[in-house]
Amino acid sequence: MFSLHVIIGLLAAFWVYTDARKLGQELGTAILWAIGVAGAIYIFLPLYLIFGRKPSLKPRRVDRDREIIDVEAIPVDETINCPMCGGKVKDDFKVCPYCGHTLQPKCPSCGRELNREWRTCPHCQTPTEAK
């Protein structure tokens, strides 16, 4: 019976260590969580599940092909909703890929791109079409 508790504690400690590292925690923090779980599983495992499973928000150092690089946050593309169909499209799209609606209209006179809110082309002073 005693050996079963030891085996379960070691397995839980191994899982906590690998989970903490996968979530981006430092090596020392992951080892401390694992030691705590191995020593007192009924106390530290619930504490880890409540407080320790929050992903790390700071950049991690990743070893790729023996070159250490800092992993930074990837910028998210700005999206807008298409005024015709409501589909999410990137802010710089010219046409909605879902319904084909023109997202960035062009001036009929000079051909430059216009904002949807403009009533007159600021480049050639041509009135824009009604939307």
Assess whether pLDDT exceeds 90 at residue 82.
no
Which long-range contacts (C-beta less than 8 Å, at least 24 apart) are formed by 86-90?
none
1 and 35 housed in the same domain: yes
For 121, the domain range is 78-130
Contact 71, 84 (CB under 8 A): no
In a domain, 119, yes or no: yes
Res 23: pLDDT = 84
**Tokens at 54, concatenated:** 């929050």
Contact 6, 40 (CB under 8 A): no
42 and 88 housed in the same domain: no
In a domain, 102, yes or no: yes
Cα separation, 67 vs 86, whole angstroms: 44
Q: Sorting pLDDT into bands at 50, 70 and 90, what band is 116?
A: confident
Res 98: pLDDT = 87
Number of domains in the chain: 2
